Structure 1
Amino acid sequence: MNEIYMDITNQYIKQSLRFMHIALLVLLICIRWDIPHAIWIISPLVTFSLISGYMSYLYNIRTNDTIAEKDERAERIKTNDYISLKDGISVYFVDPVGRKEYTVRNRGKSIFTLYNQRNFPVCTIQKSPLSASPFIIRNHKQKLIAAYIEGSTPSHLIFNGKIIIKDESFTIKQIHLHHFCLESESRERIAYVQKGWMPTLWQKRFPANAPTITFKDDTDMERREILLLVIGYIFLQK
């Protein structure tokens, strides 16, 4: 989009300069040939030049805003750390600066949805009203993108099964009482969830006991959003 704004800006600048050059040329001709009332001739040209210049200024601002938004989105994508804040029916995932990134909301009727920072529904858990698991996950187009199946070993967590995303599976593995991780088939920790530990700088903005989630650097956005939905869903079950 910023390329379009830049192109429009350049067109308005050229148009403004063209009108100004014509106005100067007309002014020189009027002076040279002593034509009276030259101001009435060049005034419309100067006016059009100023209007075009102002329009180029407006589109230049839009270009800068678009570039700034793109840089901000890129910066947000790079963050691997989230802090979880909870109210009655929602879990909020914010970055360490305090910007809300995602929200998991209980919509009732056994439906839990992950919303992004623009409040757009990204993906949704659909489960049986009689059981917390298993469940399936669909994207905003209602396409099946993931599923959860229960594990066979008992755990203090109410969830100890696997999240299946495409051809991969991620196991919910308990580490301590308030710590658990999401582990790939190769036993690589994709996401780490802990409670009761937080950097001192973060404690100036958030409760020290708020859960934190840390993702592996190369976790892509689709998996990250699905796993955040599952983590938020787990928090809402407690």
Structure 2
Amino acid sequence: MTRSKPALNLCVTVLSGAIALTPAAAFAGGEPVSTPPFFPPAPPAFFPPVVPTTPAAPAAPAAGDSSSETAAAATKTASSAGTRAIVSQINAGFTVCRSVPVREYWVDCFAERLDQVAKDIAQDGDYAEARAIIEDASRKLAQVAQSNASRSIPRARLAASAGAAPINARPLTPVATEAVAATAQTAAAILEEAETTLLRSAAASAQRQAHFQQIAAAVGSNKVLLRSL
């Protein structure tokens, strides 16, 4: 496989049009400001062979806009559209995280993306338990990143291109390079636990079963990848 440029500058677009990482200090009040380029201490060992177009984070729907996927996910009654919206948002978030070539950011990226998914699900109704399970997984993943935070790699935000507005709601905390493999194993276990809990939760309700099975499959879809790191 042909590698990209030998030194990864997180202020430039990674792999031509994919995800760029911008140091958190580069944004003040939501606006990009001039900042010196940051070079990681060592080039990452993994580059995705194909990086899809970066999906934007779902925007909050306008009042009465029931046609948007986010609005569908926020409904209280389980439906094909609502479940599809949740699954799509989970998959899109994981795709964004996997497109980041600096693997030290992956665990907290998964945490932040799942947190956004949970926030877009109604707090009560048929999806309430799914929201709570996804929220719990997000919190546990964030704790793993914080407990193993790197002392040399800065926190960063994801952006579709250099200078673009950040995708994620908060800066991501990278884990120490020597902790990448161990934290990936822990993250895989957290996702597996969430997947299992979703499936058990669905078993008690025939109405929710098919919906929760799809959500569970999306949540657990990156276990094998994480365990291979």
Structure 1 or 2: more helix by fraction: 2
TM-score exceeds 0.5: no
Compute the TM-score of the two structures, normalised by the length of structure 2. 0.23
Structure 1 or 2: more strand by fraction: 1
Compute the TM-score of the two structures, normalised by the length of structure 1. 0.22
* Higher RCO (C-alpha under 8 Å, 6+ residues apart): 2
Structure of larger gyration radius: 1
